[in-house]
Amino acid sequence: MALREVEAEAGEPLKPREAKHRPANPRVAGSFQYSAEFRKRSKKLLRGMEHFPNYSKYLEDELGGPNSRLMHFIQYLIPEIEYRCGPLADKSVLDFGCGPGPSTAALAMNCRSVAGYDIDPELVDVCRMRLKEHGLESTVRLYCAPNLEDVKDRIGPVDLILLSGVIEHIPLTERGLRRRLIRTLFGMLKPGGSLYIYDTPNRAWPIDFHTTGLLGIPWTKPGSPSAYARAVRAGRYGDSPRYTPGPRGMEQCGAWGATYWEILGYLKGESFRVDNTRAGGNKHIDYLGGSRRFRLARYPFDFFVGLLARPLRIPITAFYPFLDNLVITKTGAMKRTVKVEGSRAGSSSSSPSLVTVR
């Protein structure tokens, strides 16, 4: 059944089908063998990106080998989430920007209820295919729509929203888009629910670790034509069919990342706490995406950064190359909109009014 055959309307959840068998548990095996068709589809997602400096890593990430994102999420991220947010078994979770689904599959192995959302039908189709190969498609609701507002009520209030490698792909040049999305997602949380931000390049660092590997790119204006031209000349970027041609495409690819203070600014006026700033909030955590290459450097860096960050109640991750394991928890009541019959005070209108209440 193709993706579009199960989407009667934009934003309708993809109808799950029962799996005929449940393959070997990757948590036990340490890897997962996907079908040849899935590997072919995953490679197709990267068409036009063969010249990217991280192409081989991108491809490895999408499959089920020991160093894939699937195994990283299962072995590292899921325990990290549970350490910070409690057991997942009784939680409802939204994987926002689920893409081809490695994080969605890892969540589905552990959570009571999982929803996945992405704007790209091709990515959602691959995610659905991945879930089927794991025998997990009956446990996940997938949504594909160009606008989150179209499906947020169908997804419903949730306990946790994972944003793994997502924020950097939302163009800053599309004015106000990041702010609207972050605030909409925050509004979908139940009281006490959390936004869990992971694997987002930190624009406070001068090196673009994510896309081009070039020094200075993150400190240029997002979508900068000169930064784009420099990356192309250096052979570190080229237009891909998956992204808009030109500088906008390099921005969509994630070259400009985000900062901790930027994200907090989007939530101005909301009631929340940053769990990383609480006592013990920086323990049992690796702010480098679990990368083995940097673990020896991590500890002295943690110490010296901590001398500055802890007294100021700033998460250590705010100073690292990537924003990892940043947890923002909702402390206020949910807002909801109700219809009130009759006129409002000071109004001559007798038509129903929409009022936001807590």
Give 78-100 pLDDT, tens digit per residue: 999 998 999 999 999 999 999 99
CA 70 – CA 77 distance, rounded (Å) = 10
Q: Which helix (H) or strand (E) holds 226?
A: helix 225-233
What is the β-pairing status of strands 353-357 and 140-144? unpaired
Per-residue model confidence (pLDDT) at position 68: 84
Average pLDDT for 34-63: 76
Residue entry with tokens 């901790």: 260
| Helices vs. strands in the chain: H and E counts, helices first | 13, 11
CA 143 – CA 131 distance, rounded (Å) = 14
CA 217 – CA 208 distance, rounded (Å) = 6
CA 161 – CA 181 distance, rounded (Å) = 12
Per-residue model confidence (pLDDT) at position 334: 60
Distances, alpha carbon 4 to alpha carbons 135, 141, 281, in Å: 21, 15, 44
Is pLDDT above 70 for 27? no
More confident residue, 6 or 158: 158
CA 203 – CA 249 distance, rounded (Å) = 17
What is the β-pairing status of strands 189-198 and 92-96? unpaired
Q: Which of 4-18, 44-58, 165-179 has the highest mean pLDDT?
A: 165-179
Task: Could you list the beta-strand ranges (E) of 145-247.
Answer: 158-164, 189-198, 200-201
Q: Residue 88 is encoded by which pair of tokens?
A: 């997942």
Per-residue model confidence (pLDDT) at position 23: 46
Q: pLDDT (tens digit, 9 = 90+) per residue, 112-144?
A: 899 999 999 999 999 999 999 999 989 999 999
Predicted TM-score (pTM) of this structure: 0.80
Q: Residue 4 is encoded by which pair of tokens?
A: 């579009």
Domains of the chain: 3-337 (3.40.50.150)
CA 319 – CA 48 distance, rounded (Å) = 33
Per-residue model confidence (pLDDT) at position 355: 38
Residue entry with tokens 């997938």: 142
| DSSP letters for 79-111 | HHHHHHH--STT-EEEEET-TTSHHHHHHHTT-
Beta bridge partners of 195: 161, 328
Per-residue model confidence (pLDDT) at position 105: 95
Intra-chain end-to-end CA distance of the chain, in Å: 42
Using 50, 70 and 90 to split pLDDT, how confident is the model at 310?
A: confident
